[in-house]
């Protein structure tokens, strides 16, 4: 089984080679991201393996289909970069629904603590043997209200962490979890009552730019925003305006709306053309990490194992439990491991 592996990084290769070597799967690793110009690299392969900033729109899917590609294996949970509707009847699409929710939730809390306790500033100072505490005053998390948007696996894990700090937890989700001991409220109430707002929801038409000028206006003055989900949940330009007007107290961003051509690459010796991300990074109350929240040994192992299992199951059964199926409703996985003839 030959699979073209796009947007390869060294940590990807180590994880997948250790899992896939004995599984009769041959990965052809490419550093290039998948797009219309690079899709031809999948020639002779039966599948492609892609990540968050690869492009699998209708044109790319048609090109892959012409090349005889039968499956797209996402090595992540989100699939907003894949036109699942267009893939229907042509190419099967799989994802990794849960690799390590704790990795992402813990990173969200790490960003929050770093921001409000000025850890990043203190680190830089002490490296220069400056031990002054001026300007490093933070605030307690205990007793503060955190609003969690999206209570899937990651949102739940983050809620548990926040409870451990003694925080009051509010949540908003279109599909509330009755077993989760948090108080569900409307989005407007969450925005208006929370000192800290953390986004843990997928990107779709309903959530695109859910944090815009109107949402920011409803927030408490000095609110802290955390985003470890998808960049386009936040209108970056309007977030910048909210920071400049002092409405937003701080922003902790592991994702960015236009990250595809920036994140995962080294631009330290170059000028970045994106003025918005450059201005955000220049703000003293903004912390940006480059889609790093997933990056733990445990998560990488789980991603590799689940992706390989997805590919094996497809070649054995024609589908797998992690297939994304447009026909089965809302582009979510079938769940029951339905035979492909039900979907195709």
Can you list the pairs that 278-282 forms with residues at least 24 positions away whose Cβ atoms lie under 8 Å?
279/240, 280/236, 280/239, 280/240, 280/243, 280/251, 280/253, 280/256
SS3 category, 259: helix
SS3 category, 5: strand
Active site residue 323: no
Residues 6+ apart with CB under 8 A from 104: 154, 157, 200, 228, 293, 294
Of the residues 230, 238, 305, 323, which is catalytic? Answer: 230
Active site residue 265: no
Neighbours of 160 (CB within 10 A): 15
Query: How far apart, in Å, are the Cα atoms of 7 and each of 29, 30, 74, 199, 293?
Result: 8, 6, 12, 26, 17
Of the residues 86, 92, 118, 291, which is catalytic? Answer: 291
Of the residues 46, 195, 257, 259, which is catalytic? Answer: 259
Residue 182 phi/psi, 5° resolution? Answer: -135, 165
Active site residue 298: no
Q: Which residues are catalytic?
A: 230, 259, 291
């Amino acid at each position: 089984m030959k699979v073209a592996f796009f947007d390869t990084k060294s940590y990807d290769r180590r994880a997948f080679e250790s899992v896939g070597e004995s599984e009769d799967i041959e990965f052809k690793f490419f550093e290039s991201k998948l797009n219309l110009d690079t899709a031809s690299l999948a020639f002779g392969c039966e599948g492609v393996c892609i990540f968050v900033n690869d492009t699998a729109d209708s044109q790319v899917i048609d090109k892959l289909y012409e090349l005889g590609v039968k499956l797209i294996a996402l090595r992540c949970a989100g699939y907003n970069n894949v036109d699942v509707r267009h893939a229907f009847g042509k190419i099967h699409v799989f994802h990794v629904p849960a690799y390590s929710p704790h990795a992402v939730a813990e990173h969200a809390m790490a960003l929050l603590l770093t921001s409000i306790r000025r850890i990043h500033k203190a680190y830089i100072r002490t490296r220069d043997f400056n031990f002054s505490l001026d300007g490093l005053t933070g605030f307690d998390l205990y007793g503060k209200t955190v609003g969690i948007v999206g209570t899937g696996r990651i949102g739940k894990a983050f809620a548990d962490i926040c409870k451990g700090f003694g925080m009051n937890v509010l949540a908003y989700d279109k599909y509330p979890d009755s077993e989760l001991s948090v108080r569900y409220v409307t989005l407007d109430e969450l925005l208006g009552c929370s000192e800290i707002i953390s986004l843990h929801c997928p990107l779709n038409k309903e959530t695109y730019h859910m944090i815009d000028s109107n949402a920011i206006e409803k927030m408490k003055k000095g609110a802290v925003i955390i985003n470890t989900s998808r960049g386009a949940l936040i209108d970056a330009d309007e977030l910048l305006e909210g920071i400049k007007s002092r409405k937003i107290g701080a922003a902790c961003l592991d994702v960015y709306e236009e990250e595809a051509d920036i994140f995962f690459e080294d631009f330290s010796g170059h000028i970045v053309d994106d003025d918005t991300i450059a201005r955000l990074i220049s703000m003293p109350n903004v912390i940006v990490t480059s889609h790093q929240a997933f990056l733990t040994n445990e998560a990488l192992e789980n991603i590799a194992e689940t992706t390989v299992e997805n590919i094996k199951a497809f070649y054995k059964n024609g589908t797998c439990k992690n297939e994304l199926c447009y026909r089965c409703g809302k582009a979510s996985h079938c769940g029951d491991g339905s035979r492909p003839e039900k979907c195709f």
